[in-house]
Chains A and B, each alone.
Chain A
Amino acid sequence: MATASIPATYPQSAGVMLPAFTLWWREIVRFYRQRARVAGVILSPLLFWIVIGSGFGTSFRSGEAAGQQHYLDYFFPGALVMIILFTSIFTMMSVIEDRNEGFLLSVLVAPVPRSAIVLGKVLGGTTLAALQGLIFLVFAPLVGIHLTFGSFGLVVLTVFLISFALTALGFAIAWPMDSTQSFHAIINLFLIPLWLLSGALFPLSGASGWMRALMYINPLTYGVEALRTLMYPAAPSTFSLTASILTLLLFTLFMFGLAFVMANRKKSSS
Chain B
Amino acid sequence: MVPSAGAAQIAGLDVVREPAALRRHIGVVFQAQSVDPKLTAYENLWHQGHLYGLRGPALKQRIEEILTRVGLLDRARDRVETFSGGMQRRIELAKGLLHHPEVLLLDEPTTGLDPGARRDLWQYLQILRDQEHVSVIVTTHLMEEAERCDRLAILNEGKLVALGTPTELTREIGGDVVLLEARDPEKLAERIRSLFHVDATVMGAHVRLEIENGHRFVPDVVEAFQGEIQALSVSKPTLEDVFIHRTGHKFWNEGLVAPNGKKNH
Contact = CB atoms under 8 A, between A and B. Distances in A.
A105 B25 contact: no
Contacts of A265: none
A266 B36 contact: no
B43 A29 contact: yes
B30 A105 contact: yes
Contacts of B51: 14, 19, 22, 107, 110-112
Contact of A106 (B48, B54, B79): B48
A201 B132 CA distance: 65
A266 B46 CA distance: 29
Given A30-B36, A106-B34, A270-B1, A4 B132 contact: yes
Interface string B100-118: 1111000000000000000
A13 B30 contact: no
A202 interface: no
A103 B35 CA distance: 6
Nearest to B134: A4
Contacts of B36: 26, 30, 101, 103
Contacts of B52: 10, 14, 110-111
A22 B134 contact: no
Interface residues of B, number: 40
A171 to B, nearest CB: 18
B264 to A, nearest CB: 12
Contacts of A68: none
Contacts of B132: 4
Given A2-B103, A107-B51, A26 B32 contact: no
Nearest to A268: B2
A26 B39 contact: yes
B213 interface: no
A14 B43 CA distance: 18
A153 interface: no
A22 B30 CA distance: 21
Contact of A9 (B20, B24, B48, B58): B58
Interface in A12-36: 12-15, 18-19, 21-23, 25-26, 29-30, 33-34
B50 interface: yes
Given A6-B100, A13-B24, A266-B2, A106 B50 contact: no
A12 B43 CA distance: 22
B23 interface: yes
Contacts of B236: none
B95 interface: yes
B28 interface: yes
Nearest to A3: B133
A23 B58 CA distance: 20
With most chain B CB atoms within 10 A of its CB, the pick from A5, A11, A18, A109 is A109
Contacts of A270: 1
A102 interface: yes
With most chain B CB atoms within 10 A of its CB, the pick from A3, A10, A30 is A10
A7 interface: yes
Contact of B50 (A4, A9, A19, A103): A19
Nearest to A12: B24
Interface in B5-41: 11, 20-21, 23-26, 28, 30, 32-36, 38-39
A59 to B, nearest CB: 43
Interface in B40-64: 43, 46-48, 50-55, 58
Interface string B79-98: 10000000000000001000
B100 A7 contact: yes
Contacts of A105: 30, 32, 34
Given A26-B39, A270-B1, A6 B24 contact: yes
Interface of A: 2-7, 9-15, 18-19, 21-23, 25-26, 29-30, 33-34, 101-103, 105-107, 109-112, 266, 270
Interface of B: 1-2, 11, 20-21, 23-26, 28, 30, 32-36, 38-39, 43, 46-48, 50-55, 58, 79, 95, 99-103, 132-135
19 contacts: A3-B133, A6-B100, A12-B21, A12-B24, A14-B50, A15-B53, A22-B46, A22-B50, A22-B51, A30-B38, A33-B38, A101-B36, A102-B34, A103-B34, A105-B32, A110-B48, A111-B20, A111-B52, A112-B51
Given A2-B135, A29-B39, 13 more contacts: A4-B100, A4-B133, A6-B100, A12-B21, A12-B24, A18-B53, A19-B51, A22-B46, A22-B47, A26-B39, A101-B32, A106-B30, A106-B48
